[in-house]
Amino acid sequence: MLNGKRILLIISGGIAAYKTLELIRRLGERGVGVRTILTKSGAQFVTPLSVAALSGERAYQDLFSLTDESEMGHIRLSREADLVVVAPATANIMAKAAAGIADDLATTALLATDKPVLMAPAMNLQMWAHEATQRNATRLVDDGVLMVGPEAGDLACGEIGSGRMAEPATILARISELLAPAGTPLAGRRALITSGPTREPIDPVRYISNHSSGKQGHAVAGALAALGAAATLVTGPSAEADPAGVEVVRVETARQMLDACQAALPVDIAVCAAAVADWRIAAPASGKMKKDGAGPPELSFVENPDILATIAGLAEQRPALVVGFAAETENVVENALAKCRRKGCDWLVANDVSSQSGTFGGEHNTVHLIEGDASEAWPKLSKQAVAERLGRRIADHFAG
Ligand code: PMT
């Protein structure tokens, strides 16, 4: 868990600086205190105001500002953090850091720090491939600087190749790995969890939904975060509190849930515990439907996308482990085995949701864990205990 950790984030001047705002937001959601230094050219790409608004603290900019030095000396600034992150790291700041140049607040902090430094290079592909930059990168790594990325892909300059800054989620996973306390076996892993019901509109005031409370899915997200995973929870409407250290994305409909899940990719682990509506109304009314004496309205349905099957069937970004849940009212294990195969997931947690089970909305769950053709019966447990046991199984899977 990253809660309570502190990061000094140096934002240098590259177009990828806008992605750093997303990184600040995600770190904040995980309880990380983020102090920022904005270089002169970094401030050409993102404003001190937007950085300060997201981090909750002023963005430090000037080495010689009396205010900066009286409020927070550069030595303190560089040492109070658990980790210094440079994102984006331009060819220029890498060159200066490799040479030990300290001619502004950012480079002075880099030289003064006694904490680990993580750089996320971002630049044009020729600049990244240039001998000078490669020499500087090697020198920095030899000096103990850690690197994340760059990645290959479309670059802001219109060219395609290596030089794109690692995505905020990738940088976050690397930060989690570096700051992970002992006993966090999923540190550095990214997890996506769905939870709760979806609501499919009939008209602006009515909807179709189900009894899912979100208790089970939220508990899974919290358990994976406690094991060190960078967890994103995509949840339908739920009264459950946000689990600690988890990024929470709230949605209403199945299609919104799919979009949010796709936006969270790539991840290592996907656990789909949401009770997604299988169907939605084909054409929800734009105004409130009225009782006009002509009898009840005829509602026609269309099928919703299957989020679990979509994620499990991805060609390129399929998570290494895809876990579904199966809500069954009869023949729980037989139906779940068939569902696991049909949806293409690796594991399936099957639970009885018949009305006498009390599973929907209740505090307890009695599940079978399906892995391939094997099924394992777990005793009746609290939903929290089911989540913790599943989390440990996932951690063992990645450890083995
Ligand atoms: O929220 P609680 O009150 O704590 O209750 C927990 C729970 C009963 C909702 C949970 O334990 C559970 O069983 N979740 C899955 C509910 C469900 O929709 O099951 P299903 O058998 O209909 O679907 C199988 C799998 O496909 C599930 O992983 C589901 O998330 C997924 N699915 C289903 C339909 C769809 N359109 N997209 C999906 O991703």
Q: What is the CATH number of the domain that holds 225?
A: 3.40.50.10300
157 is known as an active-site residue: yes
Residue 185 located in a structural domain: no
End-to-end, the C-alpha distance of the chain in Å comes to 22
Q: What is the pLDDT of residue 72?
A: 64
Q: What distance lies between CA 313 and its chain's CA centroid? A: 20
How many whole angstroms separate alpha carbon 220 and alpha carbon 388? 7
Q: What is the pLDDT of residue 79?
A: 87
In a shared domain, residues 166 and 225: no
Q: What is the pLDDT of residue 1?
A: 67
Cis ω for the linkage preceding 284 (within 30 of 0): no
In a shared domain, residues 157 and 221: no
For ligand 1, the distance from its centroid to the CA atom of residue 358, given in whole angstroms, is 15
Distances (CA, A) of 373 to 184, 328, 355, 357, 396: 30, 18, 27, 25, 19
Residue 110 located in a structural domain: yes
In a shared domain, residues 89 and 156: yes
Q: Which residues of the chain fall below pLDDT 70?
A: 1, 66-72
Q: What is the pLDDT of residue 173?
A: 85
Domains contained in the chain, number = 2
Write out the E strands in 265-366: 269-272, 279-281, 301-303, 321-328, 347-352, 364-365
Write out the E strands in 236-346: 247-250, 269-272, 279-281, 301-303, 321-328
Residue 107 located in a structural domain: yes
Give backbone dihedrals phi and psi of 354, rounded to 5 degrees, phi first. Answer: -60, 160
In a shared domain, residues 68 and 134: yes
Residue 164 located in a structural domain: yes
Report the chain's C-alpha Rg in angstroms: 24
Q: What is the pLDDT of residue 69?
A: 57
In a shared domain, residues 172 and 236: no
In a shared domain, residues 250 and 362: yes
How many whole angstroms separate alpha carbon 346 and alpha carbon 98? 45
In a shared domain, residues 380 and 254: yes
Residue 184 located in a structural domain: no
CA 121-126-129 angle, to 5 degrees, is 65
Distances (CA, A) of 197 to 41, 201, 253: 46, 13, 9
Whether the Cβ atoms of residue 272 and residue 216 lie closer than 8 Å to each other: no
pLDDT tens-digit map of 131-151: 999 999 999 999 999 999 898
pLDDT tens-digit map of 244-286: 889 999 999 999 999 999 999 999 999 999 999 999 999 999 9
In a shared domain, residues 123 and 75: yes
Domain boundary among 179, 203, 230: 179
In a shared domain, residues 247 and 99: no
Closest CA to 322 of 267, 366, 283: 267
Residue 394 located in a structural domain: yes
CATH of the domain at 132: 3.40.50.1950
In a shared domain, residues 224 and 139: no
Residue 1 located in a structural domain: no
Residues 6+ away with beta carbon under 8 Å from 189: 173, 228, 229, 230, 268, 269, 398
Return the best residue to mutate from 276, 346, 367 for the ligand 1 pocket (most ligand atoms within 8 A of CB). Answer: 276
In a shared domain, residues 208 and 160: no
Helix orientation angle between 17-29 and 168-179, rounded to the nearest 10 degrees? 50
Q: What is the pLDDT of residue 63?
A: 75
In a shared domain, residues 279 and 385: yes
Return the best residue to mutate from 208, 257, 325 for the ligand 1 pocket (most ligand atoms within 8 A of CB). Answer: 325
How many whole angstroms separate alpha carbon 19 and alpha carbon 13? 12
HEC string of 42-76 equals HHHCCCHHHHHHHHCCCEECCCCCHHHHHHCCHHH
Distances (CA, A) of 152 to 118, 128, 159: 19, 11, 11
Show the ligand 1 pocket: residues with CB < 6 angstroms: 194, 212-217, 254, 272-276, 278, 304, 306-308, 324-327, 339, 343, 351, 353, 359-361, 383
Residue 336 located in a structural domain: yes
User: HSE (CB half, 13 Å, CA atoms) of 345?
Assistant: 29
Neighbours of 127 (CB within 10 A): 18
| Domain ranges, residue 275 | 190-399
